[in-house]
Each structure stands twice: as structure tokens, then as C-alpha cells.
Amino acid sequence: MLVIDNLKARVGGKDVLKGLNLTINAGEVHAIMGPNGSGKSTLAQVLAGRDGYEVTGGSVTYQSRDLLALAPEERAREGVFLAFQYPVEIPGVNNVYLLKAGLNAIRKHRGEPEVDAFEFLALVREKMKLMQMDESFLNRAVNEGFSGGEKKRNEILQMAILEPKLALLDETDSGLDIDALRVVANGVNSLRRPDRAIVMVTHYQRLLDYIEPDHVHVLSGGRILKSGDKSLALELESRGYDWVKEDPAAA
Amino acid sequence: MSVSALNQPPVLDHYRELFASTWAARAPKRDALTQLRQASLDRFLATGFPTQRDEAWKYTNLRRLESRRFTPAESAAVAAEDSRWIPDCGHRLVLINGTMLPGLSTPAPQPPGVTVLSLAQWAQHSPDEVAEFLSRHEPATPGPFENLNGAFSDDGIVIDIAQGFALDHPLYIVHHWRAPRTPGSSQMAHPRVIVRAGQQSQCSVISHYTGVDQADAFSNPWISFDLAAGARVEHLRIQEEGSRTFHIGSSHVRLARDANFTSHEFALGASLGRNSTMVQLAEPGASVSLNGLFAPTGTQHLDTHIRIDHAAAHTQSRQDYRGIAAARGRGVFNGKVIVRPHAQKIDARQSNRNLLLSATAEIDTRPELEIYADDVKCSHGATTGQLDPVSLFYLRSRGLGEEEARALLIRAFAQSMLATVKVGPVRTWLEARVQQRFDLSASGLPESL
């Protein structure tokens, strides 16, 4: 589904990704872990197409297409979804409007008709129940005045409604208490499907207790230093990141 | 007052001669009303048009207005209501080119508790009464445009709301421009509206300036609100004049004890538009809340000027304005708060947030506080910026196209001002107008970023 080949990127004049290789297949859940400043969030932003992240080398192929050539909205319509580390507050735009506009943009791209108002409401209600969100969220402005946990739940709600093929979760566990983490993890787990890939970017192993990854990668200094299964995450938890950096067998 | 004609620029000669030719035929007797007009003209001639050396006009250049030779607008009849008017909106009062047309005003019987009078009709019967009435409503120091209005105004509306009466529907005053019968002529109108709200009365007034895209029209309306103790008045001002019109408006508000005035101002039209709101919080307990949106695009220049005078203790003021400038549009916000020496326990807040949609757009914002008392709470804040790139990216990452995302964010910025309009059907109408405007300016202008 996604092949990242020798990807190099710079932000604010600083090289952050320095030749990153990663292959993700449909149906897989990957966790990308690494210390602060290792390039985890940069990778998520580059894949979603954020301005100001300059790709200086390498390629990203998504479903046999050059992902980097697509505008952010084209990536979204092709099924790429980024759950933001810091979801943006947008006063004056209400949640339900954004959900509907996003869903219709994606449907239009697929050549499908706009969603029927009743079906849409039923869909939203079902997904909100899953995320344990109160219905009053719908008519509130996007993320405005939401607590940290509410914002993260709202991200997963959007994901549940837009049904991406490739979901990128950027530090989705940060700032969540244990109850909110369970709800968010439950939402993500319900979205695991054979035709969907999920990539979690995280600093801590905690999230992986609730969402079990098929593959774990250690990102450091802009490159994947080590890959393994979920036991790698536990090892990182007990031994820290320095161990990987010093391991001559890494990469 | 004699000013040497030799030192005067020719534009003032134009207005002097025009004054003579306009009123000579209509009021040969030089009654009290004519004398009042003459006094206004003299004051205008003594100062002339303001220049940018005048602090209150620092950002607004009037040379284009000065260079035109406007003549009083021809009265014109309109057979049917216009599609630009807000449909089914309260008690409608219509002025065409500055002259009141009773035929289009609805409903014919005036609501109980409300008296509506045409100034021109009143003046026909008793000019001395009108002169006495108008001089009582003159501010201590009228500005040049109020003087010009006083000199040339020949119609307008006086509205009285009876003590204790609450009007349930808005009074909808339409100021409509029709094309002149003489093609190419530059015409002006100086309508005067005076609203007197009795003790503990309540009403909503809508002033809607609209009409055809007429060449070089000059609209110089002046509205005054006089609120008796405990009165509550809401004013909605919608300025969407034609794209070649000069619109210089004045709003005067005087509040007695415990009175409350709320206004919502939407400056959308005109080539050069300006409105000055002068508020006097004259007695304790009076409060005022002004908010609005100005949105210049193309080469429009829209200026919002506010002066709030806390002349009594325990008075409160709020100003909350937003500006959106696209293309080569230019906006000005100048809000001034004065707190008099004896006026303690004052709470005055001002906020102005602006959005620039192109590299060539400009908004000048200038808060001014003059505080002569020590026990006061005054705050002001102003920001000017572009659309937030992170918000744009967020919306695009959810599948919305770039143009759609931009239009959505612009509308959202305007929405908070629209939300303050309480009359539901009017708000919906206004939302559609504003939306239409921003959809056009967000996608149709090559200079937008």
C-alpha cells in the first residue's frame, strides 16, 4: 500500500528525515517509536502534505501513485488520513459541517452521490456512540474549547466517518488519561480491517498495550534504526532508546 | 461668519451656489428652517471638507469626493419593492434618493405606540417647528458632513417610541438609490433620521443603504438616537451601496440613565464608505455595545470611526469589530473611548480583529483611550493577520479543496459578527449576503493569495 524509499525532508532549513525506508501493507498496524526530535511527526506531516515540509530526496509510493505529487486534499480523497497531534480549533465552523463536507468531498472523488442527510446523521450517531461522545459535540465549533481528550476523540470520530485506507495517528495517546486512552484505542481497534493500514507514531509504549501492532520501528536521527514485532516496543520500554542508537547491529 | 471667497477652493463655491439655488425657490421667505440650514452651511464653509491632517480622517482621503460637483438628487418614484430589500421585514419605511415614499412603506396604519413623521411633510406645514426640533437635536460640535447634511437635508424621518412601549417587529428603514434621469450626473442625498425612545421603551431599527450601481452618487445620511431612561434600542446598519457611491454616514447616540444601545454594523458596499458613531453615555447605568464587520475588496475603502464618551459614572461600553480585506481593499478602524474626570466605575472594552486576504489589502486599526478618571476598567486589543495556514491544512487534510477551505474560514471569521444579530430572519438574510460576497471574493479575485 505504501512504500517509502530513502525519504529525505527538511523543516525550517534543518534536515530531519535522512533516508527513511518503510513498507506498509494493507491490513497491517505499524508503530513508529522514537525519542523526541527523531522525525516521527515530520514523517506524519510529510505524508499528509503539510506546507513547509520540504522533501529533498527519495520517494513515497501510495497505491502505485506518487503520493508526494498530490495536494493534501487529493491525498485525503485517495484515503490518507492524519489524526493530528494537536487538533486545530476552528471557531465558526461546526463539527457536523466539517464531517459532512469531508465525507462528500471524498464521495465525489469516488464518483458517488452526496450522502443522504438521514443516512449521514445515523452514521454520525453510531460513530459518536463508539467514541462515547455527547451529541452536543455536533453543533459545537470544530475543537473549540474541547479538552485534550475530547480533541483526540474527535480526530478518531472523523477517521471513523471518513474511513481512510491509510490512517496516520500522530501521538494520539499524548495528553490522554487512561479512560480516554481506552475509548480512543477502542475506536481505532474497531477500524482495523484487512484493506486498511494504520500507522501510529508514538513516544511511549503505553498506547501499544491497547492497540497491538504487527510491526514496531524505531526512528532516530531521521532513519529507521530497527524494526521488529511488538516485543521490540517492550524492550524499548525497559531499555530506553539509547540502546538502539548504540547497537551496531541496528539498521 | 465671513470667510474671504478668494481664499476658498472652488469646491466650496460650488456648495455655496448650490445652496442658494436649491433653497431660493423653495423657501423664499427665509423662515427659521432656512436660517438653520444657512448656519449649517456657514459652518461647513468655514472648515471645508476634512483633510488627512485631521486626526479623525488620518487614513481616509476625500479628494475624489471633493473633486465631484454633486447636485441634490432628483426625487424618483419606485413602483414596486426591490429584490435587494430584506423581504417581509417588520414595518418598512422607504426613502428613495433621500426622499420618503409613503406608498412603499408598510404597513399603512402605524403600530400603536410608534409615531412616524416625514420631515419634509412636517416642514411644509410648520417649518419653524421643524427648525426648533432640529436645533434641539444638534450635537454641540457637528462635523463637516453633519453640517453639510444640515445645509442640504430636505427629508428624513422622525420616529417616536412611546414611554413603556415595546415594539415587537423591527422598523426597517430602506435608503434606496435609483439611477438619475439625467445620465452622467453626480447626485447627492442627505437624509436625516431621528429616533426618540421613551422611558423604558424597546425597539429595533434597521438602516439599510442599497440601490443601483450608480455613478458618483454621494450618500450622506445622519441618524440620531435619543434614549430616555431605561430605554433599550437595537440598531442594525447595513451599508451595501453601489460600487461607485461615496457613503459618509453619521450616527449619534445619547443615552440617559440605565438605557442600553446595541448596534450591529455591516459595511460591505460603496467605493468609499465611512460611518462615524458618536455615543454619549450621559447618565449612570447607561451601557452601549457596538459590533460590526467591514469587508473591503476590489479598490474599496471602508472606514469605521467610533467615539464613545463616558460622561457619567457607572457606564459600560463594548466594541467588537472585525475587518476582512481582499484584493486592494482598504479598511480603517478607529475606536476612541473617553472617560471624563468624574466618571468613575467605568467598564470599557474594545476589540478589533482583522483578516487580510491578499498581499495588497490593508487595514489600519487605531484604538484610542483618553482616561481622566482613576477607578476604571478599560481594555483594548487589535490583531491583523492572514488566514491561519494550519487551519487551512487541517481542513484540506479532511478532503476539502483549497478554495472551499479558504471560503469556509473566511465565513467562519465573519460568522461571529453575524451571530450577534438577534432577529432570526434578518440574520439568515444577512448571512446569505455575506456568504455570497465572500464566495465571490475568495475565488474570483486574481490578487487573493
pLDDT for B301 beyond 70 = yes
Grid cell digits, residue B353: 480583529
- Substitution target in B386, B397, B431 with the highest count of A β-carbons within 10 Å is B397
Cβ atoms of residues B294 and B334 within 8 Å: no
Task: Read off the C-alpha cell for B304.
Answer: 469605521
Nearest partner of B327 among B437, B416, B252, judged by Cα:
B437
Q: How confident is residue B81, by pLDDT bands cut at 50, 70 and 90?
A: confident
Contact (CB, 8 A) for B222 and B146: yes
In a domain, B43, yes or no: no
Residue B123 is assigned to a structural domain of this protein: yes
| Distance, CA of A160 to CA of B156 (rounded, Å) | 60
Close Cβ partners of B279 (under 8 Å, ≥ 6 residues apart): B253, B254, B255, B261, B288, B290, B306, B307, B308, B309, B317
Backbone angles phi, psi at A95, to 5 degrees: -50, -45
Concatenating the DSSP letter of every residue in B190-209 gives --EEEEEEPTT-EEEEEEEE
More confident position, B396 or A205: B396
The confidence score (pLDDT) of residue B110 equals 67
A47 CA to centre of own chain:
10
Nearest CA-CA distance, residue B258 and chain A, Å: 33
Q: Residue B322 and residue B413: Cα distance in Å, rounded?
A: 8
- In eight-state DSSP terms, residue A87 is P
The residue among B306, B247, B238 whose CA lies nearest residue B276 is B306
Whether B399 is in a domain gets the answer: no
User: What cell was used for A221?
Assistant: 536521527
Nearest CA in chain A to B402: A73
d(CA B404, CA A101): 10
How many angstroms from the chain centroid is the CA of residue B268? 12
**Lowest mean pLDDT segment, chosen from A203-217, B177-191, B403-417:** B177-191
- Better-scored residue on pLDDT, B109 or B353: B353
Q: Reduce the DSSP state of residue B288 to 3 states and report it.
A: strand
Instruction: Lowest mean pLDDT of B349-353, B426-430, B436-440, name the range.
Output: B436-440
Percent of chain B with pLDDT over 70: 94
A51 CB within 8 Å of a chain B CB: yes
DSSP for residue B358: B
A90·B400 Cβ contact <8 A? no
> pLDDT (tens digit, 9 = 90+) per residue, A193-231?
999 999 999 988 888 999 999 999 999 999 999 999 988
> Using a CB-CB distance cutoff of 8 angstroms, which residues of chain A are in contact with residue B409?
90, 93
Mean pLDDT of B94-113: 79
Does residue A107 sit at the B interface (CB-CB below 8 Å)?
A: no
Separation between Cα atoms, residue B215 and residue A3, nearest integer Å: 62
Provide CB contacts within 8 A for B286, sequence distance 6+: B227, B255, B256, B257, B258, B259, B260, B312, B315, B316
C-alpha cell at B2: 465671513
CA pair distance A69, A184, nearest whole angstrom: 32
Contact criterion met (CB below 8 Å) for B442 and B414: no
pLDDT band at B28 (very low <50, low <70, confident <90, very high): low
Q: Could you say which of B394, B400, B414 has the minimum Cβ distance to residue A105? A: B400
Q: What is the DSSP letter of A83?
A: E
CB atoms within 10 A of CB A181: 20
Nearest Cα to Cα of residue B76 among B102, B98, B60, B56: B98
Flag whether pLDDT at B441 surpasses 70: no
Beta strands B171-177; B91-96: pairing state = parallel
Find all residues with CB under 8 Å of A132, minimum gap 6, and list them.
A153, A183
Asked if residue B443 has pLDDT above 50, the reply is no
CA distance A151 to A143: 6
The model's pTM is 0.88
In chain B, residues with a C-beta closer than 8 Å to the C-beta of A103 are: 399
Give the residue from B56, B38, B60, B46 showing the smallest Cα distance to B246.
Answer: B60
- Angle, alpha carbons B345-B350-B351 (nearest 5°): 150
| pLDDT above 60: residue B437 | yes
Q: What is the pLDDT of residue A30?
A: 97
Question: Does B347 fall in a domain?
Answer: yes
Residues contacting residue B145 through CB under 8 Å, at least 6 positions apart: B220, B222, B248, B250, B276
pLDDT mean across residues, chain A: 92
Query: Is A77 an interface residue toward B (CB < 8 Å)?
Result: yes
Pairing of strands A215-220, A223-228: antiparallel
What nine digits make up the cell of A83? Answer: 489524526
pLDDT (tens digit per residue) in B202-250 = 999 999 999 887 668 999 999 999 999 999 999 999 999 999 999 999 9
Distances from the Cα of B23 to the Cα of B37, B134, B135, B218, angstroms:
9, 17, 19, 19
A92 touching chain B per CB within 8 A: yes
A189: Cα separation from own chain's centroid: 13
Name the DSSP letter for residue A155: H
- What pLDDT score was predicted for residue B445? 39
* B404/A contact by beta carbon, under 8 A: yes
Report the C-alpha gap between B226 and B158 in whole angstroms.
11
Strand residue runs (E) in B162-197: 171-177, 187-189, 192-197
- pLDDT category at B193 given cuts 50, 70, 90 is very high
Q: Is the dihedral of CA B17, B136, B247, B328 positive or negative?
A: positive
How do residues A70-113 score in pLDDT, each as one tens digit? 999 999 999 999 999 999 999 989 999 999 999 999 999 999 99
| pLDDT at B447 exceeding the cut of 50 | no
Q: At residue B442, does pLDDT exceed 60?
A: no
**Residue B110: which domain range?**
53-139+151-387
Beta-carbon separation of A93 and B412 below 8 A? yes
Gap between the Cα atoms of B103 and B82, Å rounded: 13
- What stretches of A63-189 adopt beta strand conformation (E)? 65-66, 80-83, 90-94, 141-142, 166-170
Closest CA to B330 of B360, B374, B372: B360
Other CB atoms within 10 Å distance of the CB of residue A10: 18
Question: Is B423 in contact with B202 (CB distance < 8 Å)?
Answer: no
> What whole-number distance in Å separates Cα of residue A61 and Cα of residue A59?
6
Residue B72 inside a domain? The answer is: yes
Residue B27 is assigned to a structural domain of this protein: no
B308 CB-near residues (< 8 Å, 6+ apart)? B279, B281, B288, B290, B317, B319, B335, B336, B337, B338, B348
Mean pLDDT, residues B17-21: 93
Cα B232 to Cα B261: distance, rounded to the nearest angstrom: 6
The alpha carbon of residue A220 is apart from the nearest alpha carbon of chain B, in Å, by 26
Decide if pLDDT at B78 tops 80: no
CB contact under 8 A, B397 and A90: no
A167 touches chain B (CB under 8 A): no
**Domains, chain A, with CATH or none:** 2-246 (3.40.50.300)
For residue A233, is pLDDT > 60? Answer: yes
Q: Is residue B172 part of a domain?
A: yes
Tens digits of residue pLDDT in B247-292 = 999 999 999 999 999 999 999 999 999 999 999 999 999 999 999 9
Instruction: Report the distance separating Cα B98 and Cα B156, nearest Å.
Output: 7
Residue B12 φ then ψ, to 5°: -70, -35
Among the listed ranges B12-16, B100-104, B167-171, B353-357, which one has the minimum average pLDDT value? Answer: B100-104
> How many domains are there within chain B?
1
- A and B: number of Cβ contacts within 8 A: 76
Average pLDDT in chain B: 90
> How does residue B8 score in pLDDT terms, banded at 50, 70 and 90?
low
C-alpha to C-alpha distance for B273 and B221, rounded to whole angstroms: 12
Query: How far off is chain B from A34, nearest CA to CA, in Å?
Result: 25
Element (H, E) at A4: strand A2-11
Pick from B399, B394, B391: nearest CA to A76 = B399
| A247 pLDDT more than 80 | no
Name the residue with higher pLDDT: A240 or B329.
Answer: B329
The pLDDT-based confidence of B4 (bands split at 50, 70, 90) is: very low
Of the two residues A185 and B449, the one the predictor is more confident about is A185
